[in-house]
Copies of this chain bind each other. A is one copy, B any other.
């Protein structure tokens, strides 16, 4: 394009902007995407004059000018900001529009509001297309300020609040950032199973999955409807068989015709079949099937005991040991009766696994991934992050910026313990004793990342006694190549390790920790045949959201929280 020294006159610039700045619509709908209006750098002012259709839910509404018109703050979930909508009384019964939660679709023209108002654009309605009314006296969440705890009792409506909607957008952004990061780095997304007959490291209480109870209840109902045959019924059937048998014998002895004999044999077979059916049914017993006093799992759906997964790691390793870099991102489960603000019975984990890579590579990947997510949020969710900063955690944006830009501290477990011991000498009080060999408690982790370094810290090379059997034994024979990523606000965000790839060593470790070999034979096969150096880690997805948003309770950052006593919807 030829460059000129002359800038076009301002009015032309504006005209050009109006022409090129077409309003973005919701996909597969004729509605404007409210974000594409109010989320513009100019607040939407450049769109003045355009006719659009808008739809959303009323955040707040009020009648004005003695009922001659109404202001509605309309939100469609595309961004935290609302579109201000003005409806004249001639177009609708205003009292039916203004209640919080009302759904409206309107056609109108975008206009620049009078000087002095906060908005840069507003929608002057020309037609009210549809209304989904709300009776404010009955609406369970009419007020705008409700506690997060209260909202947990109204899971089906809480996404209509500013906070839960903002968390939903942040959660969505982090999920797509996760896929984008691993795809850009040539990792394959592998769907590891939810139903499993393996137990990852024997740790964590597992939920059992069964059809035995429903099957036995079905059977009980069935047996009430048509009771099993009595001993008398069976004896009678047995009698028929013996009579029919006798009849066949007699016909044969009498050298009866072939057709007569065939017919008689058919009768006998029918009687036999009936008897065996009755005998089969007489064995049916109500209740869960048992064998030798124990539940007979051969009759369960998978012909053995099955559980909900606690981690996809072991399974995803089978793919890493075949197609190199892989990751899994899915739900995992713990049946622990834990009522804390940091535990859920169902939560999402991201678990990459890298072949031909060691603990250093693992730490590099973890750090790059966390930084990528922070940058993604700063880049794509700044408006939502500003809302979180204003409403929940002043420092959350600075924290993202810091983590995105500063190299993570890396210290060995032994160094970490030394630093904690120094702190104790300096007067710092911990509830849990500090000495080499302990599992670092949350208070220790948060001291390191929040007080001592005030940035993310990776602690590596942990005592083997406190870590899982599959972590690679270091040459000192005392520690394993494990690493945890600690971040301010939540403490441990990531746990990972280089995996033990040496067959003899891992076999020994399984026995050492007291696990049976048999269930791990398939896992050992990965070391028996074409073994490869590899590593991986797990990131608790909800913890990442807590870290990003500053929200305190994990139940508020997952759409449908499950915990002891609660699994609503």
A interface residue numbers (CB < 8 A to B): 26-29, 31, 33, 35, 55-58, 76-78, 101-103, 105, 130, 132-135, 138-140, 155-157, 159-160, 165, 168-169, 171-172, 175-176, 179, 183, 185-198, 205-211, 213-214, 288, 295, 301-304, 306, 308, 314-315, 318-319, 321-325, 330-331, 333, 335, 337, 345-346, 348, 354-357, 361-362, 364-365, 368, 501, 522-523, 525-526, 528-533, 558-560, 562, 564-569
A258 to B101, alpha carbons, bound, how many Å? Answer: 65
B183 near A101 (CB under 8 angstroms)?
no
Looking at the complex, which one of B28, B29, B364 makes contact with A28 (CB distance below 8 Å)?
B364
A103: nearest chain-B partner, CB-CB: B530
With A29-B354, A190-B172 given, is the CB distance from A318 to B197 under 8 Å? Answer: no
A31 to B335, alpha carbons, bound, how many Å? Answer: 41
With A57-B530, A140-B525, A301-B335 given, is the CB distance from A188 to B210 under 8 Å? Answer: no
A317: nearest chain-B partner, CB-CB: B156
A139 to B529, alpha carbons, bound, how many Å? Answer: 7
B101 near A165 (CB under 8 angstroms)?
no
In the assembled complex, 19 residue pairs joining A and B whose CB atoms fall closer than 8 Å, in A order, are A26-B324, A26-B325, A27-B185, A27-B354, A28-B357, A28-B361, A77-B188, A77-B322, A77-B323, A78-B324, A103-B530, A134-B529, A190-B559, A192-B559, A195-B207, A198-B569, A208-B214, A209-B209, A210-B210
Looking at the complex, which one of B29, B58, B345 makes contact with A357 (CB distance below 8 Å)?
B29
With A26-B356, A140-B525 given, is the CB distance from A33 to B186 under 8 Å? Answer: yes
Give the 6 A-B residue pairs with the shortest CB-CB distance, closest first. A77-B323, A27-B185, A159-B322, A132-B531, A193-B560, A103-B530
B318 near A155 (CB under 8 angstroms)?
yes
Residues of B within 8 A of A135 (CB): 528-529
With A301-B345, A318-B159, A330-B330 given, is the CB distance from A208 to B211 under 8 Å? Answer: yes
A323 near B155 (CB under 8 angstroms)?
no
Q: For A134, A185, A208, which residue has the most chain B Cβ atoms within 10 angstroms?
A: A208
B361 near A195 (CB under 8 angstroms)?
no
Looking at the complex, which one of B29, B532, B559 makes contact with A361 (CB distance below 8 Å)?
B29
- Nearest chain B CB to A44 CB, angstrom units: 17
Residues of B within 8 A of A190 (CB): 168, 172, 559
A526 near B323 (CB under 8 angstroms)?
no
A345 near B195 (CB under 8 angstroms)?
yes
Q: For A186, A197, A304, which residue has the most chain B Cβ atoms within 10 angstroms?
A: A186
A78 near B186 (CB under 8 angstroms)?
yes
A188 near B169 (CB under 8 angstroms)?
yes
A442 to B352, alpha carbons, bound, how many Å? Answer: 39
Residues of B within 8 A of A567 (CB): 193, 195-197, 302, 304, 306
- Nearest chain B CB to A234 CB, angstrom units: 28
Residues of B within 8 A of A188 (CB): 77, 168-169, 172
Residues of B within 8 A of A530 (CB): 57-58, 101-103, 132-134, 160
A525 to B153, alpha carbons, bound, how many Å? Answer: 14
- Nearest chain B CB to A60 CB, angstrom units: 14
A254 to B280, alpha carbons, bound, how many Å? Answer: 76
A189 to B175, alpha carbons, bound, how many Å? Answer: 8
B194 near A331 (CB under 8 angstroms)?
yes
Residues of B within 8 A of A179 (CB): 175-176, 179
B191 near A331 (CB under 8 angstroms)?
yes
Residues of B within 8 A of A526 (CB): 156
A56: nearest chain-B partner, CB-CB: B324
A24: nearest chain-B partner, CB-CB: B186
Residues of B within 8 A of A140 (CB): 525, 529
- Nearest chain B CB to A515 CB, angstrom units: 16
Residues of B within 8 A of A559 (CB): 190-193, 315, 319
Residues of B within 8 A of A138 (CB): 528-529
A104 to B84, alpha carbons, bound, how many Å? Answer: 64
With A303-B565, A319-B559, A323-B168 given, is the CB distance from A346 to B193 under 8 Å? Answer: yes
A219 to B225, alpha carbons, bound, how many Å? Answer: 34
A354 near B208 (CB under 8 angstroms)?
no
Residues of B within 8 A of A156 (CB): 318, 522-523, 525-526
A356 near B193 (CB under 8 angstroms)?
no
A30: nearest chain-B partner, CB-CB: B356
Residues of B within 8 A of A323 (CB): 76-78, 159, 165, 168-169
Looking at the complex, which one of B133, B209, B321, B364 makes contact with A207 (CB distance below 8 Å)?
B209
A211 to B183, alpha carbons, bound, how many Å? Answer: 37
Residues of B within 8 A of A159 (CB): 318-319, 322-323
- Nearest chain B CB to A289 CB, angstrom units: 13
Looking at the complex, which one of B58, B207, B361, B569 makes contact with A196 (CB distance below 8 Å)?
B569
A193: nearest chain-B partner, CB-CB: B560
Residues of B within 8 A of A26 (CB): 186, 324-325, 356
- Nearest chain B CB to A441 CB, angstrom units: 26
B28 near A354 (CB under 8 angstroms)?
yes
Looking at the complex, which one of B189, B207, B302, B345 makes contact with A562 (CB distance below 8 Å)?
B302
B31 near A356 (CB under 8 angstroms)?
yes
